[in-house]
Structures are given as C-alpha cells and as structure tokens.
Amino acid sequence: MRLAIFKTMWWSLARDRGALLMSFVLPPLVFVIFASIFSSTSSGDLEIELAVVDQRDDADSRRLLRVLEQTEGVRFVSPGPSDAQQVRAAVRDGRADAGLVVRDNQTRFDNLDPAAEAPILLLANPSREIAMTGLQGALQAAYFAALPEAVIGAVARVIDTRLVPFSVEQRGALEQTLQAMAARVASDTGTDDTAGMIRFDAISERQDVFENAGAPLAVSYYAGAVAILFLLFSSMTSASTLIDERDSGLLQRLSSGPGGAGVVVDGKFLFMVLQGLVQIALIFAVAWWLFDVRPGDRFGTWLATSVLAAICASGLALLFVSLCRSRQQAHSLGNFVVLVMSALGGSMIPRFLMPVEVRDLGWLTPNTWVLEGYASALWQPTTSTPLLPLGALAASGVLGLLIARLLTARRARA
C-alpha cells in the first residue's frame, strides 16, 4: 500500500511540468541567482561605475586618477563627462553609481587642513551608499599609492605647523602629543577635537546629488519592490479563474453573447487593474504612515508608475493563463515565473548590489521597469519622466491583453 501511494504521487508529480519546475528547477536556479549576487558583493568584486571629470588636469591629478582607474572594482563610465554638472546628472539619473570631480582650486593634495576647500568632490547617490563606501576606500588607497610624496609632505607639514619643531628637547613633547592622539582615537569619545590629527577626508568633500525627504532609502525601495512582487502574484491568482470558467463551459456560453469571449477577458482585466491599484495604495499608505515614504512633487510619476504596473501585471497574467491548459499548471508555472522575475528584477535583492550581468537581465522583467519608475518618484528623483520603463509597462500590458483575448476566443470556439 505504501509503495502504491508512493508511485501514485511520483507519477502525479512527473506528469505536472509546473510542479517539476517548482520542485527541482526553481530551488537551484534561485540559489544560482542569489549566489552570483552575494559572492560578488562579499568577495569585493562589486563594480563601482564612476563618473569622473578632472578640472585641474595636472601631473598629480592625472597620476591619482590613473591609479584609481586601475583599481579593481572601479570602472570609469564611458564616454566621460566634460564638467561637474554632467557628473552630477549622471549620478542623479543612475548612469553612474557615484561621481568624482577633481577641483581646479588652490588646495594642494598635501594640504590636510579641514578649513581649506577639498581638492576632490565626491558626488553620492544615497540609494547606493555601499558604492560610496567602496569608492572612499578605493580613493584612499589610490591616494597613498599614487601620491606618496604628498602624504609624507602632509605629515611633515602637520608636525611642523601644528605640533613643535624637531629638536632634542622637544622630542618628548612630540611623543606625548602622538600618544594623546592615539588615546583619543582609541577612546572614540565622539568629540570634534581632531584639529591636531591627520585626516584623509580633508582632501575630499562629499555631496549628495539629492536629499531623501523622510523615509530611509531602503524603505522606499522595498515599498516599490514588494508592490510589484505581490501585484504579480495576485494577478496570476485572479487570472486563473479564466481556466475555471473555460473548463466548466461557462466561457463558451458567455462567448455566444454580445462581444464574444473578449468581453470576459476585458472584464477580468479591469477588475485586476483596480485590484492592483488598491494593493499598491495600501502598501504605500502604510509606508507613508509608518515610515514617511512620500513622492513629494513627483506624485505624477508615482501615479503613472502605479497605474501602468497594474496594467502590465494584469495583461501579462491573462496572457500567461490563456496559454496554460489547467489551473494546476497555471499555479505552478506562474509561481515559478514570478519568483524568477522577482529575483532577477530587484524585488528580492536591490539592483545596485547585483553584478552587471544580472542587472542587465533584470531589464527583461516588469519588476525592473516598475522599480525604475518608482525610483524617479521616490529615492532618485529626476527632472525627466522615465519614458523607457513606463513605455515598456504600458506596451507589455496592452499587448498581453490583446493576445489573451485572441487565445481565449479561439479556445472558446474549439
């Protein structure tokens, strides 16, 4: 009896391709996606796309940038910007993870005076903080490797101007001062009394290309990521009722009325779009209430992204279900497709943590299109409307609806 039950379940699984994919293909596939992402970030292979402009263009700046460009994990964007405004625009638009401007000012690279204007300006995207952290480490390493004479000169100048001249009698005073500096660092009291200490950050100044008003950027990101994830799941569930109506013969009877089977698909599409909008509204209402997530003056972009996300998810779900033969197949394969798209598209892992290859694959998924739209409204506001992702959402949703109507009408007549 036990063997008979085992065989029955095995043959049932073997005949269900969707269940086979969910059981034996999806787990290793999701593992490969996550492993490729986290192995890259944990091994230090996360590539920082850096927009650079050298306004100073002297021997020191060229040497520093040459060493920085050769640093593993840093890639200068090409073509390079021609001025600081283009660097800022590249970071704002997401074409670069961070920006670096070598200023044409009077501050030398061996001047560690915090009161002087820093010779290097770092432009940061707060949603890609990990990239800025990596850049600061890479810049510091390049500074010490490319300009050792500047480092030594800076140390000597600090000792000479801020401590005491070198003499036999005053060596003890110098040693006491250095010990006091070390003790102050070790105690980490949080005071700002660091005027006598050598500070690398004096050669660079950080500016955010935009400010996030209110919510942490990770919260804003995952509001959009969770919205499209559950929008896809709920759309698949609602669209599956089309199979029930087809199997029960209800679709054939309804198709004999005015408008044929197309009106059935249209009615489901309208319901699913409205359902999706309510879901998105609830998610962002909670995000606004608890975490102060708000689109501000980019409400139009947020609204357009939300409406088109619901249209896209509804159209694609109806198309997918119209291709399935059974509800079980639609359920199993639907979950498989949604989970893979969500893993690649950024609903599970932030896109800026992904390797370039995985990030490029994400552009084939609606998750990425939605996140790019919400980015323009929430955590990466720009003056322009993200036409490419919004256009992809609209086109895929409408095309999915039209093909679903044709397939449903054909099956109703069969």
* DSSP state at residue 79: S
Sign (positive or negative) of CA dihedral 88, 90, 93, 99:
negative
Could you tell me the domains of the chain? 44-208 (3.40.1710), 217-413 (no CATH)
Contacts of 156 (CB under 8 A, 6+ apart): none
pLDDT attached to residue 210: 72
Query: Which residue carries 């003790």 as its tokens?
Result: 183
Q: What is the pLDDT of residues 247-306, one digit of tens each?
A: 887 777 766 766 677 888 999 999 999 999 999 999 999 988 888 888 777 899 999 999
Distance in angstroms (rounded) separating the CA atoms of residues 309 and 303: 10
Q: Which residues of 336-362 are buried (b: 16+ CB within 10 A; e: fewer)?
A: bbbbbbbbbbbbbbbbbbbbeebbebb
pLDDT attached to residue 180: 55
* Residue type at 375 in one-letter notation: A
Q: Where are the alpha helices (DSSP H) in 147-216?
A: 148-162, 171-187
- Supply the pTM of this predicted model: 0.71
Q: What is the pLDDT of residues 205-242, one digit of tens each?
A: 898 887 654 556 778 888 999 999 999 999 999 999 89
Q: Record the tokens describing residue 195, joined without a space.
A: 């005027």
Q: What is the pLDDT of residues 130-169, one digit of tens each?
A: 888 888 888 988 888 877 766 565 665 566 565 555 555 5
Distance in angstroms (rounded) separating the CA atoms of residues 149 and 109: 10
Whole-number average pLDDT of the chain: 80
> What is the pairing mode between strands 120-124 and 98-102?
antiparallel
Residues in the chain: 414
Sign (positive or negative) of CA dihedral 13, 17, 22, 23:
positive
